[in-house]
Amino acid sequence: MAFLLRQVARSGLQRNLILMRHATASTSANPELSVQVSESCLKRLREICVDGSFLRVTVEGGGCSGFQYKFDLDKQLNEDDRQFGEAEAKVVIDTVSLEYCSGATVDYHSELIRAGFRMVANPLAEQGCSCGSSFSIKL
Amino acid sequence: MNRCSNPWFLRAVRHHIRNLHEMRIPYARPVGPNQRNFTLEPLGNRELIRVHGAEVVPFLQGLATNDVARIQSPGGPASMYAHFLNKAGRLLYDTILYRTNNPETILVECDREASSDFRRHLRTYRVRRRIEVDSVDDEYTPWVMFNLKDASEAVPNPHPDLFVSPDPRLHVLGTRILAPTDMDWSKLSKCFADFGTATAASSDNSYQLLRYKQGVGEGCSELTPGKCFPLEANADYLHGVSFHKGCYVGQELTARVHHSGVIRKRYMPIRLTAPIDVGSSQDVTSLAGAKLGRVFGFAHKHGIALLRIEKVLNGRPELMIDGERCYVERPEWWPEDLPGKRRMAFAE
């Protein structure tokens, strides 16, 4: 049963990607698209989102592998936004960007060279570039 | 000793010829305004695409090999050469980007055969930006004016509906003119009547032949999509790559090869002694039979081939194509000191 549900979800994702790639009519929000939010991300968001702001994730074209993630703090919810995480530690992604990273996990990473939010384990992403901020879509 | 194959001798001869040409200049009659002659040719195999939106510059900046921000800056060039690559760094589309009066609009000239795929490529990377990508084939047609005696002379714009820009790659390739589609050759040549006398292109006097003599590839029949790298297409020598801009699709390999890698092959002009059989392999070999490259286009005893630089330049200029002899020529517009195999970043 779980296997069948997964098959349905996968074919739905593929259909959405095909629609997106061919730039046909904009697709309505698919309720099965979602992202996970890691505990370290929630912890960090609880620290910085004290003024009612939330983390906005956007996918942009560009970067040396084709697409890249953009992380911002925002207070304005738009009509096409989807919310994840907690009430006090929200992650917001617009439906278009969600098509490119559904199934991924929003993470907060701290290491000597850099600390910041990042998207990990994106099942729709192929290899990224050496600097780690750019990815290409599996076709 | 064969003096023709002696590089010092050839360089001395070229130097002498150049001096002789310079000495003639003070005695030449000044060319009056109506004594200029040039060839005017429509580029039927090129198509214009309009990319419009508030974020058009960052959008194209993330995809093109050249620094698109320069084209919109005050005093920036009217046009620039740029390649669009796949994520593996291989050339997909060779383009010329044109600045327009609207800062939110850039016209992109590409191969007609590749236009549909190119527009799809642009829309793929648009994601959520409000960028319009449309062909303006029914509104504007690209033309080229070439064969001016002074190739670097600036061509004035005689008509408000025209857009005139020197070719951003090489002066000798002439001047690009974007004209309304309903302008035919007669109307367009009349627009430039004050500048000089126009001649129609012919089979032995054409833009394609000029490109082949110079060794400049264009379009998907010569720069096969997904098959070569921008540096093999001489994009660095043709001012088509910026190594000082931010990320763009396919950048990693281009930058890596430029800074620390090896460019073994480049497109070069060849001079043919016999017509090439269209069905033949198009392979270029040395006299001894070693394969050195492949021909990608030919017309009227001239052609363009992707050749192994070191073997071709260091050996004899004679090569073989399908059993017939031909000669490779080092383009004059290549840098004087061709760098060795491994380029050094600090030498730039």
Cβ neighbour number for residue B305 with a 10 Å cutoff? 29
With a cut of 60, say whether residue A28 has pLDDT above it: no
Contacts of A78 in chain B (CB under 8 A): none
pLDDT reported for residue A1 = 46
Q: Is residue A23 domain-resident? A: no
- Cα separation, A54 vs A88, in Å, equals 8
Instruction: Classify the C-alpha dihedral B54-B58-B62-B63 as positive or negative.
Output: positive
Q: Which residue has the tokens 């198509």?
A: B47
Q: pLDDT value at position A62?
A: 80
**pLDDT at residue A25 above 50?**
no
Q: Please tell me the distance from the alpha carbon of residue B79 to that of residue B179, in angstroms, as a whole number.
A: 15
A84: domain CATH number is: 2.60.300.12
Q: Is residue A68 part of a domain?
A: yes
In chain B, which among 274-303 make CB contacts under 8 A with chain A? none
Q: Which of residues B340 and B44 earns the better pLDDT score?
A: B44
Number of domains chain A contains:
1
> B49 with B135: CB under 8 angstroms?
yes
Instruction: DSSP letter for B205, please.
Output: B
Chain B contact set for A134 (CB, 8 A): 247
pLDDT category at B215 given cuts 50, 70, 90 is: very high
Contact B168, B79 (CB under 8 A): yes
Which has more confidence, B6 or B122? B122
Substitution target in A60, A80, A81, A139 with the highest count of B β-carbons within 10 Å is: A60
Q: Which residue in chain B is spatially nearest to A133 when comparing CA positions?
A: B247
- Average of pLDDT values for B312-325? 81
Residue A30 maps to a domain: no
How far apart are alpha carbons B270 and B325 in whole angstroms? 11
- Mean pLDDT over residues A31-57, rounded? 84
Query: Can you read off the two tokens belonging to residue B242?
Result: 């910026």
Averaged over B19-33, what is the pLDDT?
A: 47
Which residues from A are below 8 Å from B127, CB to CB?
59-61, 67, 96-97, 100
Q: Which residues in chain B have Cβ-Cβ distances shorter than 8 Å to A67?
A: 125, 127
C-alpha distance from residue B229 to each of A134, B85, B91, B171, B341 (Å): 21, 8, 5, 23, 16
Least confident piece of the model among B78-87, B110-119, B308-317: B308-317
For all residues of chain B together, what is the average pLDDT?
Answer: 84
Would residue A77 count as lying in a domain? yes
Q: Which of A41-50, B164-173, B307-316 has the lowest mean pLDDT?
A: B307-316
Mutation for testing the B interface, residue in A26, A59, A64, A69 having most B CBs under 10 Å: A64
**CA gap B152, B147 in Å, rounded:** 11
Residue A72 belongs to a domain: yes
Instruction: Specify if A20 maps to a domain.
Output: no
State mean pLDDT over B243-251.
88
- Write out chain A residues lying below 8 Å of B129, CB-based: 60-61
Percentage with pLDDT > 90 across chain B: 47
**If pLDDT is split at 50, 70 and 90, which confidence band does B17 have?**
low
Strand partners, B46: B111
What's the pLDDT at B342?
42
- Tell me the pLDDT band of A3, cut-offs 50, 70 and 90: very low
Evaluate if residue A113 carries a pLDDT over 90.
no
Q: Is residue A27 scored above 70 in pLDDT?
A: no
Domains of chain B: 15-25+34-210 (3.30.1360.120), 261-328 (2.40.30.110)
Confidence of residue B130 (pLDDT cuts 50, 70, 90): confident
The answer to whether B247 faces chain A, any CB pair under 8 Å, is yes
pLDDT digits (tens, 9 = 90+) for B266-284: 999 998 888 887 777 788 9
Domain that holds residue A98: 36-137
Mean pLDDT computed over B144-165 = 87
Using 50, 70 and 90 to split pLDDT, how confident is the model at B49?
Answer: very high
